[in-house]
Structure formats: structure tokens, C-alpha cells
Chains A and B, each alone.
Chain A
Amino acid sequence: MKYIYRLVYIVMPAAIAMAFLYAPPAEGLGESSRLLYFHVPLAWVSVLAFSISGVLSVLFLFTGNGERRELVHAAHNSAAIGLLFTVLATFSGSVWSKLSWGAYWNWDPRQTSIIVLMLVYIAYFSLESALRENPSRQRIVSAYLVFAMVTVPFFVFVVPRIFPSLHPDPVINADRQVHLESAMKISLMTAIAAFTLLYGYILNLANRVSAINEQKKGDLR
């Protein structure tokens, strides 16, 4: 099962090739529309990584009597990857925003959401480092992440009402504004699959490193 992530070796080059060679440029946006195949998957993984961190934290707190430390390590690793992808998604998004809407930053709902996501990640890592000395650090950090996750539905409700949108909406199940051609759709799906696999691959690797570190700590004793 854990070897499934090695598919990334094949899918990622395929996704890149499709983005540049197979997919046609979108009308009106020109060649810059190829950013779609990188920006959307990056944003997707940011959200996915956050959800997985949250779910792992819930599992850690409510199952196994707080003994399953590997869950916290996995949540931490997932959040670290998530933070990286969030930064990349924000960066690629603002470049694209400059090209198509004329400004790097517009306070569009999705831009706002990703900034909030970044804030949560930053808060999580700040808290973790501020608790370094505390023996119950793992439970406190997990509790914070769960708490932050509970506020997500409120964001989903509020953000679109406060900030008017520029994004083609919704991007993937296009039914109104942007009709993605089937070649574009296939490329996008491949890219999303490739980035999800990449996330799984890195997470798996990071978890193994954490396990080795944990083992080393045990051996020193």
C-alpha cells in the first residue's frame, strides 16, 4: 500500500508534459492559463494536508489513550507539508492574479481563505515551538488544531459574504462561467492526482524519518 505513492514517478512527469504540451491555452488568458495545472493542485493539497492533520489530531486525542505518538508526528509532518504548499499556492496564485486581473492581491475569497489557512499553520508551529519544554505539548498542539478545524465551517459561511469573488467559480465542476475543454479537464485531473501523490510520498518519507528519530531517542536510553 505504501508503495502506491511511487506512482508519482510516472504521474508527475505526465502531468507536467500534459500541462505544457497536451492542454490547449484557454481563451482570453493565453499561455498563462497553464498555471492552472499547478496552482489548483497546490491549493487543493494545502487544504487536504490541513484536513488530514486535523483528522490525525482527533484520532490522537480520542483513541489509544494518548499513547499513539506516531499520529502526532504524522499530523505535524502533514502540517509542515501543508504550510509549504500553501506558500507555493499563494505565490502561484498571486502571479496568475497579476496576469489576469492586473493586481497581485485582490482580497478575493479564495485568496483570503488561503491566507487564513497560512495563519493557522503559522499559529500551529509557533505554539509547538513555544511548548517545547512542556511534556503535554503533543496533546495541547493537537487540541489547538482540532479547535481551529472546528471554525472552518464558519469561514466557509462568512468569507464569500464579506469578499466579492473574482475566481471562476467553482473551478472544477465548471457549469457557468468557465467551460473547461475536456483536454484541459483531463490535464487538470492528472495534475491534481500527481500533486496528491507527491503529498503522500513526502508525508510517508517524513513519517519514516520521525519514526527513526523516535527510535534513536529510545536507543540512547
Chain B
Amino acid sequence: MKKNEYSLQGASLTKFFGTAAVLRDISFSLSLPSSLAITGPNGSGKTTLLEIIAGIQRPTKGTVRLFRDDTELRRPWHHETGYVSPRLRLYDELTAQELIEFTCASRSTLRNRADEFLAMFGLTGHRKKMLSRYSSGMAQRLKCILAFISEPPILLLDEPGSNLDREGKEALFRYLESVRSERIIIIATNEKEEADFCGERISLG
């Protein structure tokens, strides 16, 4: 099997809201495997930068490009990324099981690791519960599962530890540690331990 070499490059990313600059001239270059922490005070544009990388927002200037084996992939390449964010909302009317099945079918991946992931994040007993009955911590765990289950090469995590208890955080970082050698991981955070997990760092603001 051919090994996929991914590299992710951001060039002079700038974002204005009206006339106010949120990001000015941010550049980075990451190739697999690597990990990057985006830190900075509230309002410094961490989420904006992550959303630009994810392709949810468009930068005012600059580009984000993703290469696989030296060929550039065309946007939207959402299927190459797993995205966790407080802004992500899930369907309240579905159960965890149904959401996992839906995500796998949408991304055309096998769902044979569903049980393993559910066990890893301690949701096995809650798989048949509707999301409207989930607590915010449980929902956060499920978001992680949904982002990881298709095993995308790039993980974009916006404050992944929010709402998680100690046990949840441990499960999250145990997983990240185990795939660290085969992913590009970008974490936007102000938690010291999350930032310390990453090899590189961009400080905003």
C-alpha cells in the first residue's frame, strides 16, 4: 500500500471583519506527522484561524493548501479533516449510534471500529440515548468520536477539553498520543497541558 504523505501549508493568512484585523499575516507549514498548538487570549482569533484551515471561513488574504504526495487537493477537502469545536452542533433527535452510522456512511468509511471508540470514550452504555438527553460533556465525547472515527489524516481541535472531566480528557489524549505518528494535529487552546502536547506553537494576539 502506498503511504500517503500529507502536508498542510498556510501562507500569509489575514482576516478582517469589516475594517478590524483579526489575523495578520499568519503562515505555517506542517507535514505529517506533526502537531501545532494555537494559543492566545480570548478574541485573538484562535477559532477563526482554525475555521479558515478547516475551510469553514474564507481568509481575506492568503491561502491554505493541502498536499497529498505532492499533489494539491482541491477544496473542499472536509473528508481529510476531523473537526471538533464548541460551534459544532449535532442532531438532537438522533442517538449516538445513529450519528456514528450516519457519519460513517457520509464519509464512506467502515464503521467496524464504532464499538472500540464508544468504549474508549466511555459511551458504550449511552449509545441508544437521544442526544437531547446527553450532557454537554457526553456530547463533547461524541464529537470527538465522530471526528476520529473515519481516521482522517488531519485533526483540527478547537478547545477539545472543554466540558470534559478528567477521565474524558485522559481518554482524548490517550487517543491523540496513540495516533500522533500518523496525523497532523492542530489544537486551538488556552489549557497549558493541551498546548504542551503539541510540538510546535503559534501565539496569537
Contacts and interface: CB of A to CB of B under 8 A. Distances in A.
Interface string A6-18: 0000000000000
A97 B186 CA distance: 69
Nearest to B18: A220
B7 to A, nearest CB: 21
A221 B58 contact: no
Nearest to B20: A221
A135 B57 contact: yes
Nearest to A220: B19
A220 B60 CA distance: 13
B21 interface: yes
B16 A221 contact: yes
A33 B188 CA distance: 72
A137 to B, nearest CB: 12
A131 to B, nearest CB: 15
Contacts of A221: 16, 19, 21, 60
A135 B19 CA distance: 15
Counting contact residues on chain A (CB < 8 A from B), the size range is under 10
A135 B58 contact: yes
Contacts of B58: 135
A135 B57 CA distance: 8
Contacts of B57: 135
A221 B22 CA distance: 11
A220 B17 CA distance: 12
A181 B108 CA distance: 70
A221 B19 CA distance: 6
Nearest to B74: A65
Contacts of A220: 19
Contacts of B16: 221
A69 to B, nearest CB: 12
A154 B191 CA distance: 60
Contacts of B21: 221
A135 B52 CA distance: 13
Nearest to B58: A135
Interface in A103-143: 135
B166 to A, nearest CB: 39
Interface string B8-19: 000000001001
Nearest to A135: B58
B13 to A, nearest CB: 14
A135 B58 CA distance: 8
A9 B186 CA distance: 62
7 contacts: A135-B57, A135-B58, A220-B19, A221-B16, A221-B19, A221-B21, A221-B60
Interface of A: 135, 220-221
Q: Which 5 A-B pairs have the closest CB atoms?
A: A220-B19, A221-B16, A135-B58, A221-B19, A221-B21
